[in-house]
Structure 1
């Protein structure tokens, strides 16, 4: 009887965790826009990043979070922190806010959640924009053109999602085979 109760508790815990994750943005890529503009195209790039990050950072264990390829590299958790920092640059640009060097002491779940929320906010703003050139990257007095957003933080974060994916394979916890990156959907 104790085993049955323990199994039920574990199942309820797993179901509630799964439901929480599905409420986070980017479980799947949102539907694409009816029109092609600089804003909708850039929003789609951010959506794709969000989807890749969602799955590259899903259900990580302590072993996964501590993994690093070599002594000079970042751990998976440090890589997630870096992607979070990049997401702050992306969202601050769309909010027309300057970036700060303030570091937040966040754990894995908070980093993951805030990263996904930042990306969703940025994508939604971009999707509605007719002029993405207004979204400069601001560091102090320096304003950097939006072009740098594409080859800088967006591309860099996608790159690091690939690293996380490789790290997960190495630790024996690969991304679910049900994830279809081409369609941005989850296979049944």
Structure 2
């Protein structure tokens, strides 16, 4: 019995540690000053935090859920959010968009999305001039304003869909998550 309890405790601890090692388990401290870069960075941090908890604990049933025949499944929505996170990151890396994502498991997609958002946030937080970051598709170049009202806003919208879909498939949003404070009670 004692060995079983030790095993269960060790397993639970390792699961919790691995979850906390992904970006956005909680949002980092607020920056000391308001700048265009820190503001855009914080928007992405809010997106990352919401995405982390919207996708935490999803099951195969959740991933295959779709509210009607014309809608995307939850996993297809997650694929779209991954693509949006890549567009956001590419703007901050000054890269042209168009590369296809390799085939990934849900866990890999989740990790990649969170890492993309974290990297973009860090670049923006340290930037003195975010107007240098453009969204580029082939010969079309759009200013950073379009990153805000395009992929950032769209990703926030779709994270809300993931939350709604998981509720509809019987797996509500995890308890203890404060999207206002960017924290999770233990």
Q: Does TM, normalized by the shorter one, top 0.5?
A: yes
Deviations 1:80-103 (A, max 9, x none): 110000000000100111111423
* Separation (CA, whole Å) in 2 of partners of 1:88 and 1:140: 15
* Separation (CA, whole Å) in 2 of partners of 1:24 and 1:13: 17
Structure 1 unmatched runs, 5+: none
Is 2:32 aligned against 1:24? no
State the SS of the aligned residue for 2:173: coil
1:162 matched to which residue of 2? 160
- How large is the RMSD of aligned CA atoms in angstroms? 1.7
* Separation (CA, whole Å) in 2 of partners of 1:187 and 1:115: 23
Alpha-carbon distance change, 35 to 73 in structure 1, aligned in 2, over 3 angstroms: same
Map residues 56-95 of structure 1 onto 2, 5 A cutoff.
56-95=54-93
Question: TM-score, with normalisation over the residues of structure 2?
Answer: 0.93
CA shift at 1:187, angstroms? 2.2
* Separation (CA, whole Å) in 1 of partners of 2:39 and 2:181: 16
Residue 36 (structure 1) aligned to one of 34, 50, 53: 34
Residue 54 (structure 1) aligned to one of 29, 52, 58: 52
1:130 matched to which residue of 2? 128
1:102 matched to which residue of 2? 100
Bigger mean CA deviation after superposition, 69-78 or 15-24: 15-24
Bigger mean CA deviation after superposition, 143-152 or 166-175: 166-175
CA shift at 1:15, angstroms? 3.4
- Where do 4+ consecutive residues of structure 1 move more than 2 Å? 3-18
State the SS of the aligned residue for 1:39: helix
Structure 2 unmatched runs, 5+: none
1:151 matched to which residue of 2? 149
* Separation (CA, whole Å) in 2 of partners of 1:126 and 1:38: 8
